[in-house]
Structure 1
Amino acid sequence: MKAQFKSIIAATALTLATTPLYAADYVIDTKGAHADIEFKISHLGISWLKGRFNTFDGNFSYDAANPNASKVNVNIDVTSLDSNHAERDKHLRGGDFLDTDEFPKASFVSTSFKDNGDGSATMMGDLTLRGITKPVTIDVSKVGEGEDPWGGYRAGFSGTTSFKLKDFGINYNLGPASETVYLELNVEGIRK
């Protein structure tokens, strides 16, 4: 019986030793305002119009030993658009642009993640905006990871991407200098 017990323990230990480690799951820390989604677009080729989405949530999986297995899922309340100008925000939420009455939500779901080995990566995914889904590429930089003062563990990343307004059915003519929207994403996640 003792030999059989030792065999079971040895088999269990061997199984645990050969079982691959899986990525940790994180929830994006929007409650602590440690994440943001900001945008900018050229204003007449003269300056930048900037804004943000104040309400969103999401999660991601990340393992430093296997970053290429990373996954991200983000949901955005498009009605929370804020460019610090109430009348402009009303226009941007209207039918000429985001049409938030018809499409109040946007989302991003990653499809692949390629680590470049230097703290940067390229993430591909599907962005859904105004009911239209298109692939986008996000240039990602790892900011850091580690224990927090409250007994948790966090990981943070930043990213940038851009897309053409017309790709998502926004045909309002702002002039040739204002056809592309640039997004900057800062994400801090708390490990579940």
Structure 2
Amino acid sequence: MQLPDTISRISRFAFLPALMAVAPVVSAEPAKFTVDSEHFSMAFEIMHIGYAPVIGMFREVDGEFVYDEATGDLNSGTLVFQSDSVFTNHKKRDDHLRGEDFLNSAKYPEIVFTLTEFESTGENAGKVTGDLTMLGQTNPVVLDVTLNKSAVYPIGHEDFTLGISAETILKRSDWGMTYGLDSALVGDEVRMRFGFEANRDSGWF
């Protein structure tokens, strides 16, 4: 028996939810993201003669990484800081930081962090292990990372964008930066905090 056209159309639409339920789910694939240098902040904090911390930042950075949103896997990635872009809002101190006692920017213009491993520690959180190269020496560093948001950017470029926060503590002496340690003028521990946006490259979908 042939159903009336109206009933036939209803029957076909009724099957759609069932078909969608058994249809294979298409997962996202790893995509390359580039750090938006206009929306990047990196602050460091180090104690000065035991009185108060000095807070500074690096103002020039480039970076990229590969991230799979479906699995939460963070793969190969690199951040490159220009060491002479250090800024603590004090010219004489900044010039000293760029000199041989600290960053030696003339000889070592770049500070490079290269991702080696990622471990998920919860929803939208994880630990990133990487190699930090500074002053010609390389040591492992572990960062606590939080994915704040992942969505199409609402204004401007309208690319798919990740918002990320990260922090770590390291000892500058591990890289041979020992100025002021014996006299307790400058602390050894450096607290670092990152906040940045990264945009998915248009060639990746």
Normalised TM-score (structure 2) = 0.79
Whether 1:158 and 2:138 are equivalent positions in the alignment is no
The number of residue pairs the alignment matches comes to 174
What's the CA shift for 1:19?
9.0
Counterpart of 2:200 in structure 1 is 191
Amino acid in the other structure paired with 1:138:
L
What's the CA shift for 1:121?
0.5
Whether 1:44 and 2:38 are equivalent positions in the alignment is no
Native 8 Å contact 1:120 1:139 kept in 2: yes
Deviations 1:123-152 (A, max 9, x none): 000000111110000000111110112431
Whether 1:23 and 2:30 are equivalent positions in the alignment is yes
Amino acid in the other structure paired with 1:64:
E
What RMSD over aligned residues (CA atoms) do the two structures have, in Å?
1.9
Counterpart of 1:84 in structure 2 is 89
What's the CA shift for 1:177?
7.2
What's the CA shift for 1:44?
2.0
Whether 1:65 and 2:70 are equivalent positions in the alignment is yes
Amino acid in the other structure paired with 1:179:
D
Q: For 1:189 and 1:20, how far apart are their aligned partners in 2?
A: 21
Counterpart of 1:12 in structure 2 is none
| Gaps in structure 2 of 5+ consecutive residues | 1-23
Native 8 Å contact 2:169 2:191 kept in 1: yes
Deviations 1:6-32 (A, max 9, x none): xxxxxxxxxxx79974312111001xx
| Gaps in structure 1 of 5+ consecutive residues | 1-16
Whether 1:168 and 2:175 are equivalent positions in the alignment is yes
| Match runs of 1:132-143 below 5 Å | 132-143=137-148
Normalised TM-score (structure 1) = 0.84
Q: For 1:19 and 1:119, how far apart are their aligned partners in 2?
A: 21
Amino acid in the other structure paired with 2:172:
L
More helix by share: 1
Native 8 Å contact 1:68 1:112 kept in 2: no
Q: For 2:169 and 2:39, how far apart are their aligned partners in 1?
A: 22
Name whichever of 79-88 and 166-175 sits farther off. 166-175
